[in-house]
Amino acid sequence: DAGVTQSPTHLIKTRGQHVTLRCSPISGHKSVSWYQQVLGQGPQFIFQYYEKEERGRGNFPDRFSARQFPNYSSELNVNALLLGDSALYLCASSVGQSSYNSPLHFGNGTRLTVT
Amino acid sequence: GNSVTQMEGPVTLSEEAFLTINCTYTATGYPSLFWYVQYPGEGLQLLLKATKADDKGSNKGFEATYRKETTSFHLEKGSVQVSDSAVYFCALSMNQAGTALIFGKGTTLSVSS
């Protein structure tokens, strides 16, 4: 079975540009979560979408936005990129809404470099 | 605020050695606790979890016990294998209804034969 797939795998952008990252969850998974992992740190929660609605948001500025499509895939958008946005962006999917009962399955991430 | 602190790595062990990776947490309330593992070239995956005090999570020979009195969730394995080489992340969740996890920085384990 295919796992969580993310595209692109690597991306280089310039300050001020915007970027769109894509995620396809495991078939049958209705929840998609986005995390940012800066080098040397653990992943930090950005968003959760479940059944196409936002169900959680971390402490990130409004430059970060996301959406979930009817097929449960998701996009993460970041506007007005800053050097500090350089990180590995992880997508995780789960069957249900809660990590208590539905373990998260992570993709391999998109490595974003902002120059 | 809520946070997770893990022991600094890397941890280097010989095969069949005993493993402990320390994890302590700070939380306002009663979190659920998790260990995630990332093998080389793969995505993070859940290793084990515990949802209330004194619960013991276990999987693949790894164990961790939720200790409320010491706010700890240390990961242990009696005999490590080369295939256990990976990065291990301790995490907590305060939200029973969502997937917002707070992760530690991760501990790299390297096991040699």
Q: Nearest chain B Cα to A48, which residue?
A: B99
How high is the pLDDT of residue B14? 97
Q: Encode pLDDT of B40-93 as tens digits.
A: 988 899 999 999 999 999 999 999 999 999 999 999 999 999 999 999 999 999
Share of chain B above pLDDT 70, in %: 99
Q: Do B99 and A105 touch (CB under 8 A)?
A: no
Identity of the highest mean pLDDT range in B29-33, B91-95, B107-111: B107-111
Q: Measure Cα distances from A3 to A10, A44, A75, A92, B41 in Å.
A: 18, 21, 17, 10, 13
Q: Could you tell me which residues come within 8 angstroms of residue A101 by beta carbon, excluding any fewer than 6 positions away?
A: none
Residues of A with Cβ-Cβ distance to B91 under 8 angstroms: 42
Mean pLDDT of B23-37: 93
Query: By the CB < 8 Å criterion, does A25 face chain B?
Result: no
C-beta contacts of A43-52 below 8 A and 24+ residues apart: A43/A90, A43/B44, A43/B89, A43/B101, A43/B103, A44/B103, A45/B99, A45/B100, A45/B101, A45/B102, A46/A76, A47/A76, A48/A97, A48/B98, A48/B99, A48/B100, A49/A74, A50/A97
Give which of B45, B99, B105 to mutate to test A binding, by max A Cβ within 10 Å. B99
Cβ–Cβ gap B95/A44 under 8 Å: no
Q: Quick check: A4 pLDDT over 90?
A: yes
Indicate the pLDDT class of residue B99, thresholds 50, 70 and 90.
confident
Interface touch B44/A104, C-beta < 8 Å: yes
Q: Report the sign of the C-alpha dihedral through residues B45, B76, B92, A39, in that order.
A: negative
pLDDT band, very low/low/confident/very high, at A115 (cuts 50, 70, 90): very high
A8-52 pLDDT tens trace: 999 999 999 999 999 999 999 999 999 999 988 999 999 999 999
**What is the pLDDT at residue A1?**
60
